Amino acid sequence: MQTIEVNGLVFEEYLSAENIAEIVGNVAERINTDYTGKEPLFICVLNGAFMYASDLFKKITLPSEITFVRLKSYEGTATTGEVKILTPLTMDIQGRDVIIIEDIVDTGLTMHGFMHQLRGMGANSVELTSFLFKPEALKYADATPKYIGLEIPTKFVLGYGLDFDEKGRNLPALYVLRS
Ligand code: IMP
Ligand code: MG
């Protein structure tokens, strides 16, 4: 088992770069099929999703566009939660078929808030793909991704764009915190 140390914590390899490529290819195939005849607009959620978005977008064979937002979510006392947009959308999404690209859905707070905002901006449809999904951690059912790369247990992971205190994003494989 290959292990690495990041900021004093030990992580074990969970998915190899080859496993990841296969997972991403499967998601792309489903989207290519479901959106045949459409021109989807992908919205990559920075920072974590940049690697997944890059690999996924290269495998999309539809006429399509991509744009980027940077989000920060806040855990409020209200059940709806609040999502702050640090870098806002610069594209008009009126009438568009939007597919959000996220790295991981954990409690679902971030995507619950963001999808609600997008629907209020006149998109024709709003769907979500997430490379990883932690179903047991989900608190907002409407943030369940339609296109999931892999469901994982509620454990901390890093690599392939995901960070631990901004470290580890450059790792081409995915690692899980040793328990
Ligand atoms: P949520 O709003 O609780 O669904 O959290 C989503 C965000 O938390 C993701 O976009 C990630 O940035 C971060 N996150 C959640 N779980 C992990 C993890 O295991 N590793 C790294 N980042 C994570
Ligand atoms: Mg993220």
Locate the domains of the chain by residue range.
3-177
* Closest to 101 in 3D by CA, of 168, 160, 51: 51
**Residues 6 or more apart whose Cβ sits within 8 Å of residue 112:** 80, 81, 83, 140, 142, 143
Q: What is the pTM of this model?
A: 0.95
pLDDT tens over the chain, length 179 residues:
789 999 999 999 999 999 999 999 999 999 999 999 999 999 999 999 999 999 999 999 999 999 999 998 765 444 456 778 889 998 999 999 999 999 999 999 999 989 998 999 999 999 999 999 999 999 999 999 999 999 999 999 999 999 998 899 999 999 999 98
Tokens 């959000």 belong to 100
The two tokens of residue 46 are: 């920075």
User: Closest ligand to 105 CA?
Assistant: 1
Number of C-beta neighbours around residue 13 at 10 A: 17
Residues contacting ligand 1 via CB (< 6 Å): 48, 73, 102-110, 156-158, 162
The two tokens of residue 108 are: 């679902």
Q: Which of 106, 142, 163, 165 is catalytic?
A: 106
Q: Which atom of ligand 1 is nearest to the CA of 140?
A: 4
Q: Indicate the helix (H) or strand (E) that contains 12.
A: strand 9-15
Output the CA 122–ligand 1 centroid distance in Å: 27
- Is 106 designated active site? yes
- Please, which residues have CB less than 5 A from ligand 2, an ion? 48, 103
Q: Tell me the β-bridge partners of 111.
A: none
| Spatial separation of the C-alpha atoms in residues 21 and 31, rounded to whole Å | 16
Q: Is domain 3-177 classified as CATH 3.40.50.2020?
A: yes
